[in-house]
């Protein structure tokens, strides 16, 4: 079945470390997105990519980096510059037609220890 | 720019009672509308969407929503809730025919009381 796979489901990071969250899709979607979710704050867009080798900053890109070398993959790196990285991270993808909406992965919960 | 307002951050309701989750949007152009559901520690799942045509849209798990253009609303309803409906619900909007991103509301947490 087609879908989006995020890994790992739970991730623990020491302060000062970079970590990379994986997002892979087999839906043949062109666009991919990363969101951060904190309690009571809804979804906040970190980065998005509409085509391979191109991506744009979202509303809260500081302290994060991404790459889009393959259509299927859109990894997110949480760098040591992100001061409060503990959150639930969601990856999504979409087709060109906006009426299809987004398909989401199951999320990665990152905790700084 | 478009925006989405979910008027209630939390809604408690007794099991088997009806529920309405409210959503209002703002946009200068025509939009597509969505409702997503998020169960604890999971991603978002599409409940239903309005693209065009009939203003009453039926989705999964017995939910339905009504598009009201004059009131710019897209409220979600279910005639009888079950404990398994405990989740967070997100209303979302995207402009038609634009190279754009979906805008999500801040979510409404539905608490089902036994």
Q: 3-state class of B62 per DSSP?
A: helix
Per residue in B18-42, pLDDT (tens digit) is: 999 999 999 888 899 999 999 998 9
Do the beta carbons of residue A70 and residue B22 sit within 8 Å?
Answer: no
Beta bridge partners of residue A11, listed in sequence order: A110
* Residue of B38, B44, B74, B98 to mutate when probing chain A, most A C-beta within 10 A: B44
Tokens of B72: 């710019």
Tokens of A107: 């999320």
Per residue in B36-89, pLDDT (tens digit) is: 999 998 999 999 999 989 999 999 999 999 999 999 999 999 999 999 999 999
The answer to whether A98 contacts B95, with C-beta atoms less than 8 Å apart, is yes
Tokens of B54: 């009939």
Per residue in A47-62, pLDDT (tens digit) is: 999 999 999 999 999 9
Nearest CA in chain A to B42: A106
Alpha-carbon span A90 to A28, nearest angstrom: 18
HSE-up of residue B42 (Cα within 13 Å, Cβ side): 13
């Amino acid at each position: 079945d087609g879908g989006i796979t995020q890994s790992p489901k739970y991730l623990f990071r020491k302060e000062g470390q970079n970590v990379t969250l994986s997002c892979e899709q087999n839906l043949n979607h062109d666009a991919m997105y990363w969101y951060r979710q904190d309690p009571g704050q809804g979804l906040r867009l970190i980065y998005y990519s509409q085509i391979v080798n191109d991506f744009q900053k979202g509303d809260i890109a500081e302290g994060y980096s991404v790459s889009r070398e393959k259509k299927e993959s859109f990894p997110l790196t949480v760098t040591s510059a992100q001061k409060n990285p503990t959150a639930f991270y969601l990856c999504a993808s979409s087709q060109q037609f906006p009426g299809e909406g987004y398909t989401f992965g199951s999320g990665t919960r990152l905790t700084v220890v | 720019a478009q925006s989405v307002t979910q008027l209630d951050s939390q809604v408690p309701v007794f099991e088997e009672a009806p529920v309405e989750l409210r959503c209002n949007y703002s946009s200068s152009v025509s939009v597509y509308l969505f409702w997503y559901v998020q169960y604890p520690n999971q991603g978002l799942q599409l409940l239903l969407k309005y693209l065009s045509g009939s203003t009453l849209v039926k989705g999964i798990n017995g939910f339905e929503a009504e598009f009201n253009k004059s009131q710019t609303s897209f409220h979600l309803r279910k005639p009888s809730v079950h404990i398994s409906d405990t989740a967070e619900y997100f209303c979302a909007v995207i402009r038609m025919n634009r190279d754009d991103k979906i805008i999500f509301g801040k979510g409404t947490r539905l608490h089902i009381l036994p």
